A and B are shown apart, each in its own frame.
Chain A
Amino acid sequence: SAVISQKPSRDICQRGTSLTIQCQVDSQVTMMFWYRQQPGQSLTLIATANQGSEATYESGFVIDKFPISRPNLTFSTLTVSNMSPEDSSIYLCSVGEGVTNEAFFGQGTRLTVV
C-alpha cells in the first residue's frame, strides 16, 4: 500500500490562529480525502481534495474554515482557520488505492486548541 505521511503529527495552537496540515503520498493518486475525528467520536468526511480544481466539501464544512490545496497528484494541505477549542480533533488524510479503491489513512494530526 502507499505510504501516506502527515505533518505535523500533533500541535497545540492558540485560539484565533490557523494551522496547515500536510499530506504527502509516495505514489500518484486520483482522489485524496480529509476527515475529522472529534474527541470520543467517529470520523467525519470534511472534503474531497481534487487536483486542479476546488475541493468538494461535505455538508457542514466550508472553504473559509477549511481551505484545501491539491497542487499535484501526491500532495494536499488542509488548513484549519481561525481556530477555536471546538476544532480540537484528529485530522486524517486518506487515499484510495487500486482497482477496489480501498481507503488507506495517514497517521493523523492531533490538534489541541487552547
Chain B
Amino acid sequence: GIQVEQSPPDLILQEGANSTLRCNFSDSVNNLQWFHQNPWGQLINLFYIPSGTKQNGRLSATTVATERYSLLYISSSQTTDSGVYFCAGDFTGGGNKLTFGTGTQLKVEL
C-alpha cells in the first residue's frame, strides 16, 4: 500500500528557531496537503501544495512531486506552533481520499 513517512517524528525547539519537516511518499500524488493539529484535535489547513512552493507568513512549503517528497519550513517558531503536523496526499485521483503521514510532534519552548 501507499506509504507516507514523516520526519522527524518528534522535535523540540526553542522559541525563535527555524525547522524543516519532511514528508516522503511512495507513489505519485494528486493532492498534497499539510495540516497542523492543535491540542484540541482540530486540523488546521496549512497548505494545499501538489507541486511547487508556497509561503504563508512564517510558514512555507515545497513539494517535489517527481522525487516524491514535500517539505514544510517553520521560521521564527512560536509556542503557538506546538502540536502535530501532518502531511496527507490523495493517491487515487478520485477526489480527496487522503492518506495521512505518520506525523511530526513539535514542541516549542520559551
Contacts and interface: CB of A to CB of B under 8 A. Distances in A.
Nearest to B33: A103
B30 to A, nearest CB: 9
Interface in B19-44: 31, 33, 35, 40-43
B88 A103 contact: yes
A53 interface: no
B88 A102 contact: no
Interface residues of A, number: 24
B97 interface: yes
B41 A110 contact: yes
Interface residues of B, number: 21
A90 B100 CA distance: 15
B51 to A, nearest CB: 12
A108 B103 contact: no
B95 A96 contact: yes
A25 B100 CA distance: 23
A43 B88 contact: yes
A40 to B, nearest CB: 9
B95 A101 contact: yes
Nearest to B99: A45
Interface in A25-58: 30-31, 33, 35, 37, 42-45, 48
B43 A92 contact: yes
B48 A102 contact: yes
B98 interface: yes
Given A101-B31, A107-B42, A44 B100 contact: yes
Interface of B: 31, 33, 35, 40-43, 45, 48, 86, 88, 90, 95-103
